[in-house]
Amino acid sequence: MWLDRYRAVLCDLDGCLIAGDMLLPGAQDLAARAGDRLWIISNNSTDTPRTLSRRLAGLGLPVDADRIVLAGMTAVGEIAATQPAARVCIYGTAAIREEAHAAGLVLSADRPDVVLLTRDEAFGYGQLNLVIRQLRQGARLVVANCDATHPGADGAPVAETGALLAALVACLPGLRYREIGKPAAAMYQAVLDRLGPGTAPILAIGDNPATDGEGARRMGFDCAIIGPSRGSHGRDLSALLRKRVRLAEPAS
């Protein structure tokens, strides 16, 4: 099968494998054909690899947590590696905060060293003003991803971390921050570090040219941007598996 030439297949999550809690066409076929060469690389910032692996298994899509790389958890790892024991205020899920605590970070809203912004469904006016105050007091801002939305189960856009970031930028023009998610290199590099050296090419699959496509181009990976599936609110991996999706040329 043509996928066999790749040593790793890096697939986006929302809009490619799932929409909400619904599997999309071709997801199980891709997992079966790629086997342990399949990696999920997603701007998801609410799950951890363990929680997402369990959720996908319940949907009939088994992917080991060791082969899941997510923006939120990558951000936690980078903060812990560059600023051990830093005081961090995390706007996000309890699961992300628990992992940050386990990584040795000190969770605190009182004059934190770092503010980590993820897709926080509880984020509101009070939180917005608190972040503004924390940043003006000198906290460094790390943003899990800059996506404004991701596709929901019914096809409607779901507000993402980038929408919260836009509110901050509106209040603090010229705001500087560190972006972790695609198209930035951090998550791709995490996969390469785990794969180790090799000469076979890598394929990236996604539905968003601005993030999946641009990220793969920067890394020099082959890339497939898949289109909408018929009768579904997500994208159709089946066409890719039949090789009816043209692969983009990697950056030179």
> What are 40's strand-pairing partners?
11, 68
CB 234 within 8 A of CB 19: yes
CB 223 within 8 A of CB 214: no
Could you check whether 2-71+182-241 and 72-179 share the same CATH topology?
Answer: yes
Instruction: Summarize pLDDT for 213-241 with one digit per residue, the tens.
Output: 999 999 999 999 987 654 444 566 877 87
> 204 CB contacts (<8 Å, ≥6 apart)?
10, 11, 41, 212, 215, 216, 219, 221, 222, 223, 224
Instruction: Summarize pLDDT for 49-60 with one digit per residue, the tens.
Output: 999 999 999 999
Q: How far is CA 95 from CA 72, 85, 110, 143, in A?
A: 10, 18, 21, 17
Q: What was the pLDDT predicted at 198?
A: 87
CA distance 41 to 97: 20
Write out the H or E segment, with its range, that includes residue 58. Answer: helix 49-58
Q: At the fourth CATH level, which superfamily is domain 72-179?
A: HAD superfamily/HAD-like (3.40.50.1000)
Question: What's the whole-model pTM score?
Answer: 0.90
Instruction: Summarize pLDDT for 116-149 with one digit per residue, the tens.
Output: 999 999 999 999 999 999 999 999 999 999 999 9
What mean pLDDT value characterizes the chain? 91
> How many C-beta atoms lie closer than 10 Å to residue 215's C-beta?
25
Q: Where in the chain are the domains?
A: 2-71+182-241, 72-179
Which CATH number applies to 2-71+182-241? Answer: 3.40.50.1000
